[in-house]
Amino acid sequence: MAVLVIAEHDNASLNDATHKVVTAAAKFGGDVDVLVAGEGAGDVASAAGKISGVRKVLHADGASVAKQVAEAMEALVVPLMDGYDAVFIPATTMGKNIGPRIAAKLDVMQLSDITDVIDTDTFERPIYAGNAILTVKSSDAKKVITVRGTAFDAASEDGSASVESVDAPAGPFKSEFVSEQMVKSDRPELAGAKRVVSGGRALGSKEEFDRLIVPLADKLEAAVGASRAAVDAGYAPNDYQVGQTGKIVAPELYVAVGISGAIQHLAGMKDSKIIVAINKDEEAPIFQVADYGLVADLFVAVPELTEAL
Amino acid sequence: MKVLVPVKRVIDYNVKVRVKPDQTGVDLANVKMSMNPFDEISVEEAVRMKEAGTATEVVIVSIGPQQAQETIRTALAMGGDRGILIKTDETVEPLAVAKLLAKVVEEENPDLVLLGKQAIDDDSNQTGQMLAALLDWPQGTFAYKLEKDGDALTVTREVDGGLQTLKLTTPAIVTVDLRLNEPRYASLPNIMKAKKKPIDEKAPGDYGVDIAPRLSVVKVTEPPVREAGEKVEDVATLVSKLKAAGAI
């Protein structure tokens, strides 16, 4: 049996989400190979070879897969699947974009966002914003799976797998990369951060969000997150959104500031180890999941907390 | 351009889901159902395209039980032109939905299929991408902004780390994210008008598509319950508690 893992990376460095998917793939069983598709991503391919338990790395280098657009990734991965029983893909926006496209081409039902591997046919995944856990059995011969990173530990790095070249598909494709605007930040990445400070609508403006949330996050060396309401109001960029349809996080410490705690937000953070909530409304649902709740005016409490750390 | 908008009837996003005691699923009896919120955004976008003169016709399609007709009516009240209901009481998985939609596309020849990025019941996030694969069309998922650019579409997508812009040839598949627009509420006159708009009723069998599920439910269980912790008096207490817990 053999499993193909698709690596998450930005051509410069390998994202930790890949290590977590390797753990899930190892639980499925068989040989685990990692596909690194990118342009000039040689360092990423070498890094993937260091992940423990990896048999070999397949490296596709070319402009067509530089941004991992779905049409090119389909052309690359579908033929490779002749040699694999399953493909495991991180449930990042990259993985969510390409997984179902590959599955449909293979005529199989994808298993989205799995949180556990029970056996080679049976998997666990959250449904209804994590308010129910589905154990589901697939009758498809090949499995296409996206993996929720927070549910698996990252595989360690004491491997020395060889890197093998595979051809990047030749374009042109029906979709073409035009540009990207990435939020530059020295902070830890939200999805994998050990600590997260999130702000909600109660902050009232982008200025207050930046003035209160950012210094607290700096002090805690935390990533910054936000509720949907705060993102919709423009206080924080889109990809800061924690929740059912945004980022799923499970840090050691999650600090929710001025967030009421809608079901959809809780879905994205309730697996955090320690949750702190600061909110002036003592009836806010966030307090039902918080380990430590502080009923207070955030405009007073947050600067005080930042100062005290 | 002609736009096809698939919509799904799902549990209302405000309803607290309850798992059935026999672990076969969640309790949907007497629960408020609504249009999937992401589908409202795709309907809104299609209607705005029509109002702007870029779309010529907006066709709404839903796959589900008889009551899914109400979901189609809601979309027609928002400004859709006509509807297609593919009636079935079975659970139809995303792959089968995509196969049915591919047949509808063959009949209707739209230039654009606008779908919600995911349904808030099974949280699969698959149908649009699968439909794109089956049709060999380009896909722009998680759309934040959508613009017509001659015969092409420019789609700005919400991705990890920021935004990405793609140019798609048409016909194309676009799935919408939360920030694309804010859906309107249908006005009473439009709700009345929608009652007269035509809805074609079909069955999966009419399309010759095998909708037999590939997945079977072993069980559905409650997630581990997180107990509420303690309220702390002030910031100083919070800091000392966090220190004691080793969190800082």
Q: Which of A99, A182, A296 sits opposite B161 (nearest CB)?
A: A182
pLDDT digit string (tens) for A26-56? 999 999 999 999 999 999 999 999 999 999 9
Domain containing residue B196: 2-244
* CB-CB contact of B85 with B107 (8 Å): no
**Partner-chain contact A137 B218, CB within 8 Å:** yes
Rounded Cα distance, A87 and A5, in Å: 6
Closest to B45 in 3D by CA, of B145, B165, B173? B145
Residue B198 to residues A60, A207, B40, B65, B188: CA-CA distances in angstroms?
A: 50, 50, 20, 18, 18
Mutate to test the interface with A, among B111, B139, B180 (most CBs of A within 10 A): B139
Kindly state the tokens that stand for A2.
């053999």
Chain B partners of A107 at a C-beta cutoff of 8 Å?
A: 95
CATH code for position B197: 3.40.50.620
Q: Which residues of B, range 87-106, sit inside 8 Å of A by Cβ?
A: 93-95, 98
Closest to B140 in 3D by CA, of A177, A25, A241, A102? A177
Helix axes B37-51 and B68-78, enclosed angle (nearest 10):
30
Closest to A161 in 3D by CA, of A27, A42, A45, A24? A45
**Partner-chain contact B164 A67, CB within 8 Å:** yes
From B187's Cα to the closest Cα of chain A, the distance in A is 24
Q: What DSSP string runs through B130-173? A: HHHHHHT--EEEEEEEEEEETTEEEEEEEETTEEEEEEE-SSEE
Q: What is the predicted pLDDT for the residue at B198?
A: 98
Chain B partners of A90 at a C-beta cutoff of 8 Å?
A: none
* Delimiting residues of CATH 3.40.50.1220 domain(s) in chain A: 190-308
Chain A partners of B120 at a C-beta cutoff of 8 Å?
A: 128-129, 244-245
**Partner-chain contact B223 A137, CB within 8 Å:** no
Binding-site residues of A for FAD, please?
201, 227-228, 241-245, 258-265, 279
* CB-CB contact of B198 with A110 (8 Å): no
**Partner-chain contact B123 A127, CB within 8 Å:** yes
Cβ of residue B11 closer than 8 Å to a chain A Cβ:
yes
**Partner-chain contact B226 A132, CB within 8 Å:** no
Q: ipTM for the complex?
A: 0.96
Cβ of residue B172 closer than 8 Å to a chain A Cβ:
yes
Binding-site residues of A, please?
201, 227-228, 241-245, 258-265, 279
Give the residues of chain A that fall short of pLDDT 70: none
Closest to B223 in 3D by CA, of A92, A271, A252? A271
**Partner-chain contact A181 B163, CB within 8 Å:** yes
Domain total of chain B: 1
Task: Select from 3.40.50.1240, 3.40.50.1220, 1.10.3720.10, 3.40.605.10 the CATH code of A190-308.
Answer: 3.40.50.1220
Q: What is the predicted pLDDT for the residue at B208?
A: 96
Q: What DSSP string runs through A5-56? A: EEPPB-SSSB-THHHHHHHHHHHH-SEEEEEEEESS-HHHHHHHHTSTTEEE
Residue A86 host element (H or E): strand A86-90
**Partner-chain contact A109 B216, CB within 8 Å:** no
Q: What is the predicted pLDDT for the residue at A271?
A: 93
From B44's Cα to the closest Cα of chain A, the distance in A is 17
Kindly state the tokens that stand for B36.
């999937």
Rounded Cα distance, B85 and B63, in Å: 6
Q: Which residue of B has its CA nearest to A305?
A: B235
Cβ of residue B248 closer than 8 Å to a chain A Cβ:
yes
* CB-CB contact of B157 with A179 (8 Å): no
Cβ of residue B169 closer than 8 Å to a chain A Cβ:
yes
Chain A partners of B26 at a C-beta cutoff of 8 Å?
A: 127-128, 131-132
From A71's Cα to the closest Cα of chain B, the distance in A is 7
Rounded Cα distance, B26 and B80, in Å: 31
Q: What is the predicted pLDDT for the residue at B107?
A: 98
**What dihedral angle (degrees, nearest 10) is formed by the CA atoms of B112, B113, B117, B122?**
-170
Which CATH superfamily hosts domain A2-166? Answer: HUPs (3.40.50.620)
Q: Which of A93, A113, A129 sits opposite B142 (nearest CB)?
A: A93
Residue pLDDT tens, chain B, 248 long: 999 999 999 999 999 899 999 999 999 999 999 999 999 999 999 999 999 999 999 999 999 999 999 999 999 999 999 999 999 999 999 999 999 999 999 999 999 999 999 999 999 999 999 999 999 999 999 999 999 999 999 999 999 999 999 999 999 999 999 999 999 999 999 999 999 999 999 999 999 999 999 999 999 999 998 888 999 999 999 999 999 999 99
Kindly state the tokens that stand for A252.
């050691």
Q: Which residues of B, range 216-245, sit inside 8 Å of A by Cβ?
A: 216-223, 226, 228-232, 234-236, 238-239, 241-242, 245
From B178's Cα to the closest Cα of chain A, the distance in A is 8
Q: What is the predicted pLDDT for the residue at A186?
A: 86
